[in-house]
Amino acid sequence: MGTKKQLTPYEKVLTARDVKRPGIMEYIDMLFDDFMELHGDRLYRDDTSIVGGIALFHGMPVTVIGNRKGKNTEENIQYNFGMTSPEGFRKAVRLMNQAEKFGRPVITFVDTPGAYPGLEAESNGQSNAIAESIARMSCLKVPTVAVITGEGSSGGALALAVADSVWMLENEVYSILSPEGFASILWKDAKRAPEACEIMKITAEELKEFGLIDGIIPEGKKLFPALDKMFLAELTRLGKFSGSALAANRYQKFRRMDGLYKNTSAWDGKARISN
Amino acid sequence: MTIDDIFKQRKKRWNSLIRIRRNETVEECECPKCKQRETVDKVRANKWVCRNCGYYLSMAPMERIQMVCDEGSFREMNGDFTSEDPLHFPDYGKKLTALHNATGQTDAFVSGVCRIAGIKVALGVLDSRFLMGSMGTVVGEKILRLTEYAGRKKLPLIIFSASGGARMQEGLFSLMQMAKTAAAVDRFKQNGGLFLSFLTNPTTGGVSASFASLGDIILAEPDALICFAGPRVIQQTIGQTLPEGFQHAEFLLEHGMLDAIVEREKCRETLYKLLAWHQK
Protein backbone atom coordinates (compact mmCIF):
# COMPACT_ATOMS: atom_id res chain seq x y z
CA MET A 1 0.00 0.00 0.00
CA GLY A 2 3.03 2.22 0.21
CA THR A 3 2.55 3.35 -3.37
CA LYS A 4 -1.12 4.24 -2.93
CA LYS A 5 -0.48 7.36 -0.92
CA GLN A 6 -2.73 9.60 -3.03
CA LEU A 7 -6.07 7.88 -2.64
CA THR A 8 -9.14 10.07 -3.10
CA PRO A 9 -11.57 10.16 -0.18
CA TYR A 10 -13.97 7.83 -1.97
CA GLU A 11 -11.18 5.36 -2.76
CA LYS A 12 -10.41 5.39 0.94
CA VAL A 13 -14.04 4.52 1.68
CA LEU A 14 -13.70 1.56 -0.66
CA THR A 15 -10.38 0.55 0.93
CA ALA A 16 -11.93 0.78 4.36
CA ARG A 17 -14.68 -1.63 3.27
CA ASP A 18 -12.38 -4.10 1.52
CA VAL A 19 -13.02 -7.55 2.97
CA LYS A 20 -9.36 -8.45 2.41
CA ARG A 21 -8.30 -5.96 5.06
CA PRO A 22 -7.32 -7.33 8.44
CA GLY A 23 -10.30 -7.97 10.70
CA ILE A 24 -10.50 -7.62 14.45
CA MET A 25 -9.29 -11.20 15.08
CA GLU A 26 -6.12 -10.58 13.06
CA TYR A 27 -5.35 -7.45 15.04
CA ILE A 28 -5.86 -9.36 18.26
CA ASP A 29 -3.66 -12.23 17.05
CA MET A 30 -0.86 -9.95 15.92
CA LEU A 31 -0.82 -7.51 18.83
CA PHE A 32 -1.86 -9.45 21.92
CA ASP A 33 -1.19 -12.79 23.56
CA ASP A 34 -3.61 -15.23 25.10
CA PHE A 35 -6.87 -13.55 24.09
CA MET A 36 -9.93 -14.89 25.82
CA GLU A 37 -13.27 -13.81 24.42
CA LEU A 38 -16.00 -12.92 26.89
CA HIS A 39 -19.56 -13.15 25.65
CA GLY A 40 -22.97 -11.68 26.27
CA ASP A 41 -24.66 -8.66 27.75
CA ARG A 42 -26.28 -10.52 30.70
CA LEU A 43 -29.61 -9.09 29.62
CA TYR A 44 -30.70 -10.75 26.40
CA ARG A 45 -28.11 -12.30 24.08
CA ASP A 46 -24.59 -12.24 22.69
CA ASP A 47 -24.16 -9.86 19.77
CA THR A 48 -21.43 -11.32 17.59
CA SER A 49 -20.86 -8.05 15.72
CA ILE A 50 -18.81 -6.95 18.71
CA VAL A 51 -15.87 -8.95 20.02
CA GLY A 52 -14.73 -8.35 23.55
CA GLY A 53 -12.42 -10.00 25.98
CA ILE A 54 -9.19 -9.93 27.93
CA ALA A 55 -5.71 -10.34 26.47
CA LEU A 56 -2.12 -9.71 27.42
CA PHE A 57 -0.28 -6.77 25.90
CA HIS A 58 3.44 -7.04 26.67
CA GLY A 59 2.46 -9.08 29.68
CA MET A 60 -0.15 -6.61 30.93
CA PRO A 61 -3.83 -7.65 31.00
CA VAL A 62 -5.97 -5.33 28.86
CA THR A 63 -9.61 -5.36 27.82
CA VAL A 64 -10.02 -5.44 24.04
CA ILE A 65 -13.32 -4.53 22.37
CA GLY A 66 -13.95 -4.17 18.65
CA ASN A 67 -16.39 -4.44 15.79
CA ARG A 68 -16.35 -7.68 13.84
CA LYS A 69 -17.08 -7.95 10.13
CA GLY A 70 -17.12 -11.10 8.02
CA LYS A 71 -14.74 -12.03 5.22
CA ASN A 72 -17.46 -13.60 3.09
CA THR A 73 -21.24 -13.51 2.79
CA GLU A 74 -21.80 -16.32 5.24
CA GLU A 75 -19.64 -14.74 7.91
CA ASN A 76 -21.12 -11.35 7.19
CA ILE A 77 -24.60 -12.65 7.85
CA GLN A 78 -23.37 -14.23 11.06
CA TYR A 79 -21.80 -10.95 12.23
CA ASN A 80 -24.56 -8.78 10.76
CA PHE A 81 -22.08 -6.95 8.50
CA GLY A 82 -20.49 -5.34 11.52
CA MET A 83 -23.70 -3.54 12.43
CA THR A 84 -24.24 -3.64 16.16
CA SER A 85 -27.50 -4.11 18.03
CA PRO A 86 -28.23 -2.77 21.52
CA GLU A 87 -27.01 -6.07 23.01
CA GLY A 88 -23.57 -5.48 21.50
CA PHE A 89 -23.25 -2.01 22.99
CA ARG A 90 -24.47 -3.33 26.34
CA LYS A 91 -21.87 -6.09 26.19
CA ALA A 92 -19.23 -3.43 25.51
CA VAL A 93 -20.42 -1.40 28.51
CA ARG A 94 -20.33 -4.50 30.69
CA LEU A 95 -16.74 -5.20 29.68
CA MET A 96 -15.76 -1.57 30.23
CA ASN A 97 -17.21 -1.67 33.74
CA GLN A 98 -15.32 -4.86 34.38
CA ALA A 99 -12.09 -3.32 33.07
CA GLU A 100 -12.55 -0.30 35.33
CA LYS A 101 -13.21 -2.44 38.37
CA PHE A 102 -10.00 -4.41 37.85
CA GLY A 103 -7.91 -1.48 36.63
CA ARG A 104 -7.33 -2.80 33.11
CA PRO A 105 -6.78 -0.38 30.21
CA VAL A 106 -9.38 -0.59 27.44
CA ILE A 107 -8.32 -0.84 23.79
CA THR A 108 -10.99 -0.58 21.11
CA PHE A 109 -10.93 -1.30 17.37
CA VAL A 110 -13.59 0.51 15.37
CA ASP A 111 -14.77 -0.80 12.01
CA THR A 112 -18.51 -0.51 11.45
CA PRO A 113 -20.91 0.83 8.82
CA GLY A 114 -23.01 2.04 11.76
CA ALA A 115 -25.38 0.73 14.39
CA TYR A 116 -27.97 -1.72 13.06
CA PRO A 117 -31.10 0.00 11.76
CA GLY A 118 -33.55 -2.83 12.36
CA LEU A 119 -36.94 -3.47 13.90
CA GLU A 120 -35.68 -5.48 16.83
CA ALA A 121 -32.75 -3.18 17.47
CA GLU A 122 -35.09 -0.20 17.73
CA SER A 123 -37.53 -2.07 19.96
CA ASN A 124 -34.71 -3.02 22.31
CA GLY A 125 -33.53 0.55 22.73
CA GLN A 126 -30.77 1.22 20.22
CA SER A 127 -30.61 4.91 21.14
CA ASN A 128 -30.36 4.18 24.81
CA ALA A 129 -27.67 1.53 24.33
CA ILE A 130 -25.48 3.85 22.25
CA ALA A 131 -25.98 6.78 24.61
CA GLU A 132 -25.05 4.63 27.62
CA SER A 133 -21.93 3.36 25.89
CA ILE A 134 -20.80 6.88 24.95
CA ALA A 135 -21.49 8.19 28.44
CA ARG A 136 -19.79 5.24 30.14
CA MET A 137 -16.70 5.44 27.98
CA SER A 138 -16.41 9.17 28.58
CA CYS A 139 -15.96 8.71 32.33
CA LEU A 140 -13.99 5.44 32.61
CA LYS A 141 -11.27 5.65 35.22
CA VAL A 142 -8.76 3.56 33.25
CA PRO A 143 -6.64 4.43 30.19
CA THR A 144 -8.51 4.03 26.90
CA VAL A 145 -7.12 3.93 23.37
CA ALA A 146 -9.27 3.64 20.23
CA VAL A 147 -8.14 2.85 16.68
CA ILE A 148 -10.32 3.29 13.60
CA THR A 149 -9.21 0.33 11.50
CA GLY A 150 -11.81 0.48 8.72
CA GLU A 151 -14.93 2.57 8.32
CA GLY A 152 -16.02 4.38 11.44
CA SER A 153 -19.57 5.43 10.80
CA SER A 154 -22.10 7.30 12.94
CA GLY A 155 -23.03 6.78 16.58
CA GLY A 156 -22.25 3.10 16.27
CA ALA A 157 -18.56 3.95 15.82
CA LEU A 158 -18.53 6.72 18.43
CA ALA A 159 -19.91 4.31 21.02
CA LEU A 160 -16.45 2.66 21.07
CA ALA A 161 -14.36 5.73 20.30
CA VAL A 162 -14.71 8.13 23.23
CA ALA A 163 -11.12 7.39 24.25
CA ASP A 164 -8.17 9.21 25.81
CA SER A 165 -6.32 8.68 22.59
CA VAL A 166 -8.03 8.14 19.22
CA TRP A 167 -5.98 6.95 16.25
CA MET A 168 -6.78 6.19 12.64
CA LEU A 169 -5.06 4.06 10.04
CA GLU A 170 -3.94 6.30 7.19
CA ASN A 171 -6.34 5.08 4.52
CA GLU A 172 -9.46 4.70 6.63
CA VAL A 173 -12.46 6.95 7.16
CA TYR A 174 -14.39 8.23 10.17
CA SER A 175 -17.68 9.95 9.46
CA ILE A 176 -21.02 11.07 10.76
CA LEU A 177 -22.79 8.62 8.47
CA SER A 178 -21.96 6.64 5.33
CA PRO A 179 -21.31 8.77 2.23
CA GLU A 180 -24.22 6.96 0.56
CA GLY A 181 -26.57 7.92 3.38
CA PHE A 182 -25.23 11.45 3.32
CA ALA A 183 -25.79 11.79 -0.45
CA SER A 184 -29.27 10.30 -0.27
CA ILE A 185 -30.31 12.70 2.48
CA LEU A 186 -28.73 15.74 0.90
CA TRP A 187 -29.40 15.12 -2.79
CA LYS A 188 -31.84 12.19 -2.66
CA ASP A 189 -29.29 10.22 -4.67
CA ALA A 190 -27.01 7.64 -3.03
CA LYS A 191 -24.97 7.35 -6.24
CA ARG A 192 -23.41 10.72 -5.57
CA ALA A 193 -21.45 9.23 -2.68
CA PRO A 194 -18.01 9.98 -4.25
CA GLU A 195 -18.98 13.64 -4.40
CA ALA A 196 -20.24 13.53 -0.81
CA CYS A 197 -16.88 12.15 0.33
CA GLU A 198 -15.13 15.27 -0.91
CA ILE A 199 -17.18 17.67 1.20
CA MET A 200 -17.67 15.45 4.25
CA LYS A 201 -14.01 15.65 5.37
CA ILE A 202 -13.66 12.07 6.52
CA THR A 203 -10.03 11.13 5.91
CA ALA A 204 -7.45 10.68 8.64
CA GLU A 205 -5.41 13.64 7.43
CA GLU A 206 -8.33 16.06 7.50
CA LEU A 207 -9.54 14.88 10.90
CA LYS A 208 -6.06 15.12 12.36
CA GLU A 209 -5.90 18.70 11.16
CA PHE A 210 -9.24 19.43 12.87
CA GLY A 211 -7.85 17.93 16.07
CA LEU A 212 -10.63 15.34 16.20
CA ILE A 213 -8.17 12.44 16.22
CA ASP A 214 -4.80 12.20 17.93
CA GLY A 215 -2.67 10.45 15.38
CA ILE A 216 -2.34 8.46 12.17
CA ILE A 217 -0.90 4.96 11.82
CA PRO A 218 0.83 4.04 8.54
CA GLU A 219 -0.50 1.00 6.69
CA GLY A 220 1.24 -1.76 4.79
CA LYS A 221 4.15 -3.65 6.30
CA LYS A 222 4.59 -1.10 9.05
CA LEU A 223 1.02 -1.44 10.31
CA PHE A 224 1.39 -3.91 13.16
CA PRO A 225 4.78 -2.71 14.45
CA ALA A 226 3.47 0.85 14.39
CA LEU A 227 0.32 -0.11 16.29
CA ASP A 228 2.35 -2.03 18.83
CA LYS A 229 4.65 0.92 19.36
CA MET A 230 1.73 3.34 19.65
CA PHE A 231 -0.19 1.21 22.18
CA LEU A 232 2.94 0.78 24.28
CA ALA A 233 3.72 4.50 24.24
CA GLU A 234 0.13 5.57 24.92
CA LEU A 235 -0.50 3.07 27.71
CA THR A 236 2.78 4.05 29.36
CA ARG A 237 1.92 7.75 29.07
CA LEU A 238 -1.68 7.34 30.27
CA GLY A 239 -0.70 4.89 32.98
CA LYS A 240 0.95 7.71 34.90
CA PHE A 241 -2.39 9.42 35.57
CA SER A 242 -4.81 8.56 38.33
CA GLY A 243 -8.24 7.27 37.35
CA SER A 244 -10.06 10.47 38.12
CA ALA A 245 -7.41 12.54 36.28
CA LEU A 246 -7.90 10.35 33.21
CA ALA A 247 -11.67 10.85 33.31
CA ALA A 248 -11.29 14.60 33.85
CA ASN A 249 -8.76 14.97 31.00
CA ARG A 250 -10.95 12.96 28.67
CA TYR A 251 -13.93 15.15 29.50
CA GLN A 252 -11.91 18.26 28.73
CA LYS A 253 -10.62 16.76 25.51
CA PHE A 254 -14.07 16.14 24.06
CA ARG A 255 -15.38 19.35 25.55
CA ARG A 256 -12.99 21.29 23.34
CA MET A 257 -14.26 19.78 20.08
CA ASP A 258 -16.35 22.79 19.32
CA GLY A 259 -15.51 23.60 15.70
CA LEU A 260 -14.21 27.02 16.75
CA TYR A 261 -17.70 28.35 17.33
CA LYS A 262 -17.77 32.09 17.60
CA ASN A 263 -18.34 33.14 21.17
CA THR A 264 -19.01 36.83 20.81
CA SER A 265 -19.71 37.27 24.47
CA ALA A 266 -20.08 34.93 27.38
CA TRP A 267 -23.40 35.15 29.16
CA ASP A 268 -23.39 38.30 31.21
CA GLY A 269 -26.15 37.19 33.55
CA LYS A 270 -28.49 39.85 32.24
CA ALA A 271 -31.74 39.43 30.46
CA ARG A 272 -31.48 39.19 26.73
CA ILE A 273 -35.09 38.45 26.12
CA SER A 274 -37.82 37.48 28.47
CA ASN A 275 -41.22 36.14 27.84
CA MET B 1 -21.61 39.75 14.78
CA THR B 2 -21.36 43.48 15.29
CA ILE B 3 -23.02 45.44 18.07
CA ASP B 4 -25.47 46.73 15.50
CA ASP B 5 -26.53 43.21 14.59
CA ILE B 6 -27.04 42.33 18.21
CA PHE B 7 -29.34 45.27 18.68
CA LYS B 8 -31.21 44.50 15.49
CA GLN B 9 -31.68 40.94 16.61
CA ARG B 10 -32.90 42.01 20.02
CA LYS B 11 -35.31 44.47 18.54
CA LYS B 12 -36.69 41.85 16.22
CA ARG B 13 -37.26 39.44 19.08
CA TRP B 14 -38.84 42.08 21.22
CA ASN B 15 -41.20 42.97 18.44
CA SER B 16 -42.22 39.41 17.87
CA LEU B 17 -42.76 38.89 21.57
CA ILE B 18 -44.81 42.04 21.82
CA ARG B 19 -46.93 40.83 18.93
CA ILE B 20 -47.46 37.54 20.74
CA ARG B 21 -48.48 39.38 23.89
CA ARG B 22 -50.89 41.68 22.18
CA ASN B 23 -52.41 38.79 20.30
CA GLU B 24 -52.00 40.77 17.15
CA THR B 25 -51.37 37.94 14.76
CA VAL B 26 -53.98 37.04 12.22
CA GLU B 27 -51.83 34.44 10.52
CA GLU B 28 -53.26 31.05 9.90
CA CYS B 29 -51.63 27.70 10.22
CA GLU B 30 -52.52 24.29 8.95
CA CYS B 31 -52.59 21.03 10.87
CA PRO B 32 -50.14 18.68 9.09
CA LYS B 33 -52.40 15.74 9.85
CA CYS B 34 -56.01 16.76 9.15
CA LYS B 35 -55.20 19.88 7.10
CA GLN B 36 -57.62 21.96 9.15
CA ARG B 37 -56.74 25.66 8.94
CA GLU B 38 -57.02 27.89 11.96
CA THR B 39 -55.70 31.19 13.15
CA VAL B 40 -52.45 31.00 15.02
CA ASP B 41 -54.03 32.66 18.04
CA LYS B 42 -56.61 29.93 18.46
CA VAL B 43 -54.02 27.19 18.03
CA ARG B 44 -51.74 28.93 20.49
CA ALA B 45 -54.56 29.20 23.00
CA ASN B 46 -54.94 25.44 22.69
CA LYS B 47 -51.20 24.94 23.32
CA TRP B 48 -50.51 24.15 19.66
CA VAL B 49 -52.70 21.11 19.67
CA CYS B 50 -55.03 20.81 16.69
CA ARG B 51 -58.57 21.46 17.87
CA ASN B 52 -59.95 19.21 15.19
CA CYS B 53 -57.86 16.02 15.41
CA GLY B 54 -55.72 16.49 18.50
CA TYR B 55 -52.42 16.44 16.56
CA TYR B 56 -49.47 18.00 18.39
CA LEU B 57 -48.05 20.76 16.21
CA SER B 58 -44.39 21.62 16.62
CA MET B 59 -43.74 24.61 18.82
CA ALA B 60 -41.18 27.37 18.53
CA PRO B 61 -38.82 27.31 21.52
CA MET B 62 -40.14 30.61 22.88
CA GLU B 63 -43.70 29.29 22.72
CA ARG B 64 -42.63 26.19 24.63
CA ILE B 65 -40.81 28.29 27.19
CA GLN B 66 -43.87 30.49 27.62
CA MET B 67 -45.97 27.40 28.13
CA VAL B 68 -43.89 25.87 30.94
CA CYS B 69 -42.19 28.81 32.69
CA ASP B 70 -43.50 31.37 35.09
CA GLU B 71 -44.31 34.49 33.19
CA GLY B 72 -41.31 36.70 32.59
CA SER B 73 -38.92 34.40 34.44
CA PHE B 74 -36.89 33.15 31.47
CA ARG B 75 -33.42 34.58 30.95
CA GLU B 76 -31.64 33.39 27.86
CA MET B 77 -28.00 32.27 27.98
CA ASN B 78 -25.48 32.13 25.14
CA GLY B 79 -28.11 33.35 22.69
CA ASP B 80 -25.51 34.70 20.29
CA PHE B 81 -23.42 31.62 19.53
CA THR B 82 -23.09 31.11 15.81
CA SER B 83 -21.54 28.28 13.86
CA GLU B 84 -18.11 28.78 12.35
CA ASP B 85 -18.99 26.37 9.54
CA PRO B 86 -15.92 24.23 10.29
CA LEU B 87 -16.10 22.21 7.07
CA HIS B 88 -16.79 25.25 4.87
CA PHE B 89 -19.78 23.32 3.67
CA PRO B 90 -21.38 24.56 0.44
CA ASP B 91 -24.34 26.92 1.07
CA TYR B 92 -24.41 26.18 4.81
CA GLY B 93 -23.55 29.73 5.80
CA LYS B 94 -26.32 31.12 3.61
CA LYS B 95 -28.83 28.69 5.08
CA LEU B 96 -27.89 29.71 8.61
CA THR B 97 -28.27 33.38 7.78
CA ALA B 98 -31.68 32.80 6.21
CA LEU B 99 -32.86 30.83 9.23
CA HIS B 100 -31.45 33.43 11.56
CA ASN B 101 -33.48 36.08 9.80
CA ALA B 102 -36.62 33.95 9.82
CA THR B 103 -36.50 32.79 13.43
CA GLY B 104 -34.36 35.39 15.20
CA GLN B 105 -32.28 32.50 16.58
CA THR B 106 -28.65 31.88 15.71
CA ASP B 107 -29.06 28.11 15.95
CA ALA B 108 -31.47 25.30 16.80
CA PHE B 109 -31.23 25.48 20.59
CA VAL B 110 -32.56 28.07 23.02
CA SER B 111 -31.37 27.78 26.59
CA GLY B 112 -31.42 29.72 29.80
CA VAL B 113 -32.68 29.81 33.34
CA CYS B 114 -36.28 30.19 34.41
CA ARG B 115 -38.69 29.35 37.18
CA ILE B 116 -41.41 26.76 37.07
CA ALA B 117 -43.98 27.52 39.77
CA GLY B 118 -41.20 29.27 41.66
CA ILE B 119 -38.56 26.56 41.31
CA LYS B 120 -35.45 27.75 39.49
CA VAL B 121 -34.33 25.46 36.66
CA ALA B 122 -31.89 25.37 33.75
CA LEU B 123 -34.00 24.89 30.65
CA GLY B 124 -33.13 24.13 27.03
CA VAL B 125 -35.37 23.67 24.01
CA LEU B 126 -34.40 22.29 20.62
CA ASP B 127 -36.13 23.79 17.61
CA SER B 128 -37.19 21.34 14.91
CA ARG B 129 -37.82 24.21 12.49
CA PHE B 130 -34.14 25.12 12.44
CA LEU B 131 -32.37 22.60 10.15
CA MET B 132 -34.52 19.86 11.72
CA GLY B 133 -33.20 20.72 15.16
CA SER B 134 -29.97 19.02 14.20
CA MET B 135 -27.09 19.07 16.68
CA GLY B 136 -23.98 20.79 15.40
CA THR B 137 -21.21 22.53 17.27
CA VAL B 138 -23.38 25.38 18.53
CA VAL B 139 -26.18 23.16 19.83
CA GLY B 140 -23.61 20.84 21.43
CA GLU B 141 -21.73 23.70 23.06
CA LYS B 142 -24.91 25.31 24.34
CA ILE B 143 -26.15 22.05 25.83
CA LEU B 144 -22.76 21.51 27.46
CA ARG B 145 -22.71 25.02 28.90
CA LEU B 146 -26.27 24.79 30.13
CA THR B 147 -25.51 21.46 31.80
CA GLU B 148 -22.32 22.74 33.41
CA TYR B 149 -24.15 25.87 34.55
CA ALA B 150 -26.88 23.74 36.10
CA GLY B 151 -24.16 21.68 37.80
CA ARG B 152 -22.40 24.73 39.22
CA LYS B 153 -25.60 26.36 40.44
CA LYS B 154 -27.15 23.08 41.65
CA LEU B 155 -30.19 23.58 39.45
CA PRO B 156 -32.34 20.84 37.93
CA LEU B 157 -31.86 20.49 34.18
CA ILE B 158 -34.75 20.17 31.73
CA ILE B 159 -34.19 19.71 27.99
CA PHE B 160 -37.00 19.49 25.45
CA SER B 161 -35.62 17.59 22.47
CA ALA B 162 -36.87 17.75 18.89
CA SER B 163 -34.24 16.81 16.40
CA GLY B 164 -33.40 14.91 13.26
CA GLY B 165 -30.04 13.97 14.77
CA ALA B 166 -26.50 15.16 14.24
CA ARG B 167 -25.98 18.04 11.80
CA MET B 168 -24.60 16.74 8.53
CA GLN B 169 -23.19 20.09 7.45
CA GLU B 170 -20.66 20.00 10.27
CA GLY B 171 -19.53 16.42 9.65
CA LEU B 172 -17.53 14.68 12.34
CA PHE B 173 -17.67 17.76 14.55
CA SER B 174 -21.37 17.03 14.95
CA LEU B 175 -20.67 13.43 15.89
CA MET B 176 -18.34 14.69 18.62
CA GLN B 177 -21.18 16.74 20.08
CA MET B 178 -22.82 13.43 20.98
CA ALA B 179 -19.77 12.54 23.06
CA LYS B 180 -19.62 16.02 24.54
CA THR B 181 -23.26 16.30 25.56
CA ALA B 182 -23.51 12.71 26.80
CA ALA B 183 -20.39 13.19 28.91
CA ALA B 184 -21.64 16.50 30.32
CA VAL B 185 -25.04 15.13 31.24
CA ASP B 186 -23.51 11.98 32.73
CA ARG B 187 -21.17 14.03 34.88
CA PHE B 188 -24.01 16.30 35.95
CA LYS B 189 -26.05 13.27 37.03
CA GLN B 190 -23.12 11.67 38.87
CA ASN B 191 -22.75 14.85 40.88
CA GLY B 192 -26.33 14.55 42.08
CA GLY B 193 -28.10 16.69 39.48
CA LEU B 194 -31.63 15.96 38.31
CA PHE B 195 -31.97 15.73 34.52
CA LEU B 196 -35.47 15.60 33.07
CA SER B 197 -35.33 14.73 29.39
CA PHE B 198 -38.51 15.61 27.55
CA LEU B 199 -38.78 14.08 24.08
CA THR B 200 -41.05 15.75 21.56
CA ASN B 201 -41.79 14.96 17.94
CA PRO B 202 -39.34 14.00 16.43
CA THR B 203 -36.35 12.94 18.54
CA THR B 204 -34.09 10.79 16.41
CA GLY B 205 -30.51 9.88 15.50
CA GLY B 206 -27.62 11.52 17.25
CA VAL B 207 -29.77 13.38 19.74
CA SER B 208 -31.81 10.38 20.85
CA ALA B 209 -28.56 8.36 20.98
CA SER B 210 -26.81 10.81 23.28
CA PHE B 211 -27.99 13.18 26.03
CA ALA B 212 -31.73 12.79 25.35
CA SER B 213 -31.67 9.10 26.31
CA LEU B 214 -29.76 9.75 29.51
CA GLY B 215 -32.43 11.52 31.54
CA ASP B 216 -32.95 10.50 35.16
CA ILE B 217 -36.54 10.64 34.08
CA ILE B 218 -37.47 10.48 30.41
CA LEU B 219 -40.83 11.90 29.40
CA ALA B 220 -42.39 12.18 25.96
CA GLU B 221 -45.30 13.82 24.23
CA PRO B 222 -48.04 11.56 22.87
CA ASP B 223 -47.40 10.09 19.44
CA ALA B 224 -43.91 11.64 19.19
CA LEU B 225 -41.54 9.81 16.83
CA ILE B 226 -38.56 8.67 18.89
CA CYS B 227 -35.91 6.45 17.38
CA PHE B 228 -32.29 6.01 16.41
CA ALA B 229 -32.75 5.05 12.75
CA GLY B 230 -35.75 6.62 11.06
CA PRO B 231 -38.61 4.52 9.65
CA ARG B 232 -37.48 5.17 6.06
CA VAL B 233 -33.96 3.90 6.72
CA ILE B 234 -35.28 0.78 8.43
CA GLN B 235 -37.74 0.12 5.64
CA GLN B 236 -34.94 0.37 3.09
CA THR B 237 -32.70 -1.92 5.14
CA ILE B 238 -35.11 -4.70 5.98
CA GLY B 239 -37.46 -4.18 3.03
CA GLN B 240 -40.73 -4.71 4.83
CA THR B 241 -43.45 -2.41 6.08
CA LEU B 242 -43.26 -1.41 9.69
CA PRO B 243 -45.98 -2.14 12.22
CA GLU B 244 -48.52 0.55 13.08
CA GLY B 245 -47.27 3.01 15.69
CA PHE B 246 -43.70 1.64 15.49
CA GLN B 247 -41.20 4.05 17.10
CA HIS B 248 -43.91 6.32 18.44
CA ALA B 249 -43.99 7.32 22.09
CA GLU B 250 -46.60 4.71 23.05
CA PHE B 251 -44.47 1.99 21.44
CA LEU B 252 -41.42 3.12 23.36
CA LEU B 253 -43.35 3.22 26.61
CA GLU B 254 -44.49 -0.33 26.00
CA HIS B 255 -40.90 -1.41 25.35
CA GLY B 256 -39.59 0.17 28.50
CA MET B 257 -37.72 3.11 27.00
CA LEU B 258 -39.76 5.92 28.58
CA ASP B 259 -40.92 6.74 32.07
CA ALA B 260 -44.16 8.37 31.05
CA ILE B 261 -46.10 10.05 28.28
CA VAL B 262 -47.22 13.52 29.26
CA GLU B 263 -49.88 15.49 27.44
CA ARG B 264 -49.15 19.10 26.66
CA GLU B 265 -52.03 20.14 28.83
CA LYS B 266 -50.30 18.55 31.84
CA CYS B 267 -46.72 19.38 30.94
CA ARG B 268 -46.12 22.28 33.31
CA GLU B 269 -47.97 20.60 36.12
CA THR B 270 -45.99 17.34 35.72
CA LEU B 271 -42.66 19.14 35.59
CA TYR B 272 -43.56 21.10 38.70
CA LYS B 273 -44.52 17.94 40.56
CA LEU B 274 -41.25 16.21 39.66
CA LEU B 275 -39.19 19.29 40.47
CA ALA B 276 -40.87 19.72 43.83
CA TRP B 277 -40.19 16.10 44.77
CA HIS B 278 -36.52 16.47 43.98
CA GLN B 279 -35.88 19.75 45.69
CA LYS B 280 -33.03 19.67 48.15
What does each C-alpha distance from B136 to A178, A256, A275, B171 come to in angstroms? 17, 14, 26, 8
Q: Which residue in the set A115, A255, A259 is minimally distant from B170, CB to CB?
A: A259
Residue of B nearest to A199 (CA): B89
Is residue A266 one of the residues assigned to a domain? Answer: no
Question: In sequence order, what are the residues at sequence separation of 6 or more whose Cβ sits closer than 8 angstroms to the Cβ of residue A211?
Answer: A256, A257
Residues on chain B touching A199 (C-beta within 8 angstroms): 87, 89-90
Residues B82-111, mean pLDDT to the nearest whole number:
93
- Residue B44: strand, helix, or coil: helix
Q: Pick the residue of B80, B88, B137, B176 with the most A CBs within 10 A to test the interface with A by mutation.
A: B176
What is the interface size between A and B, counted as CB pairs within 8 Å?
A: 210
Q: What is the CATH number of the domain that holds A23?
A: 3.90.226.10
The distance of A186 to chain B (nearest Cα, Å) reads 9
Residues A241-261, mean pLDDT to the nearest whole number:
89
Is residue A128 one of the residues assigned to a domain? Answer: yes
Residues A241-248, mean pLDDT to the nearest whole number:
97
Q: Which residue has the higher pLDDT, B15 or A218?
A: A218
User: Is the pLDDT reported for residue B119 higher than 80?
Assistant: yes
What pLDDT is recorded for position B126?
97
What is the domain range of residue A165? 9-253
B233 and A127: CB-CB below 8 Å?
no
- In which band, very low, low, confident or very high, does the pLDDT at B265 lie, cut at 50, 70 and 90? very high
Q: Pick the residue of A138, A213, A275 with the most B CBs within 10 A to test the interface with B by mutation.
A: A275
Instruction: Please tell me the distance from the alpha carbon of residue A169 to that of residue B63, in angstroms, as a whole number.
Output: 48
Residues A36-65, mean pLDDT to the nearest whole number:
97
Residues on chain A touching B170 (C-beta within 8 angstroms): 259
Percent of residues, chain B, with pLDDT higher than 90: 79
Residue of B nearest to A256 (CA): B180
B138 and A271: CB-CB below 8 Å?
no
What does each C-alpha distance from B19 to B28, B67, B159 come to in angstroms? 15, 16, 26
User: Is the pLDDT reported for residue B191 higher than 50?
Assistant: yes
What pLDDT is recorded for position A101?
98
Is residue A160 one of the residues assigned to a domain? Answer: yes
What pLDDT is recorded for position A47?
97
The distance of A142 to chain B (nearest Cα, Å) reads 16
- In which band, very low, low, confident or very high, does the pLDDT at A271 lie, cut at 50, 70 and 90? very low
Q: Which residue in the set A122, A135, A185 is minimally distant from B229, CB to CB?
A: A122
Alpha helices in A115-192 (DSSP H): 119-123, 126-138, 154-158, 179-187
Q: Which residue has the higher pLDDT, B9 or B137?
A: B137
Instruction: Please tell me the distance from the alpha carbon of residue B246 to that of residue B265, in angstroms, as a whole number.
Output: 24
- In which band, very low, low, confident or very high, does the pLDDT at B24 lie, cut at 50, 70 and 90? low
Inter-residue long-range contacts of A218-224, CB under 8 Å, 24+ positions, other chains counted: A218/A170, A219/A1, A219/A169, A219/A170, A219/A171, A220/A1, A220/A2, A221/A2, A223/A22, A223/A169, A224/A30, A224/A31
Residues on chain A touching B176 (C-beta within 8 angstroms): 158, 212, 254, 257
Residues on chain A touching B210 (C-beta within 8 angstroms): 130-131, 134, 155
CB A150 within 8 A of CB B275: no
The distance of B240 to chain A (nearest Cα, Å) reads 10
What pLDDT is recorded for position B20?
64
The number of distinct structural domains making up chain A is: 1
Residues A111-123, mean pLDDT to the nearest whole number:
94
For residue range A164-181, what is the model confidence (pLDDT) as tens digits? 999 999 999 999 998 988
- Supply the mean pLDDT for chain A: 91
User: Is the pLDDT reported for residue A273 higher than 50?
Assistant: no
Is residue A274 one of the residues assigned to a domain? Answer: no
List, as one string, the DSSP characters of B103-117: HS-SSSEEEEEEEET
- In which band, very low, low, confident or very high, does the pLDDT at B41 lie, cut at 50, 70 and 90? confident
Is residue A38 one of the residues assigned to a domain? Answer: yes
What pLDDT is recorded for position B251?
96
For residue range B141-164, what is the model confidence (pLDDT) as tens digits? 999 999 999 999 999 999 999 999
All structural domains of chain B, each given as residue ranges with its CATH number in brackets, are: 1-57 (no CATH), 58-277 (3.90.226.10)
- Supply the mean pLDDT for chain B: 92
- In which band, very low, low, confident or very high, does the pLDDT at A267 lie, cut at 50, 70 and 90? very low
Q: Which residue has the higher pLDDT, B37 or B249?
A: B249
User: Is the pLDDT reported for residue B26 higher than 80?
Assistant: no
User: Is the pLDDT reported for residue A84 higher than 90?
Assistant: yes
For residue range A215-229, what is the model confidence (pLDDT) as tens digits? 999 999 999 999 999
Is residue A264 one of the residues assigned to a domain? Answer: no
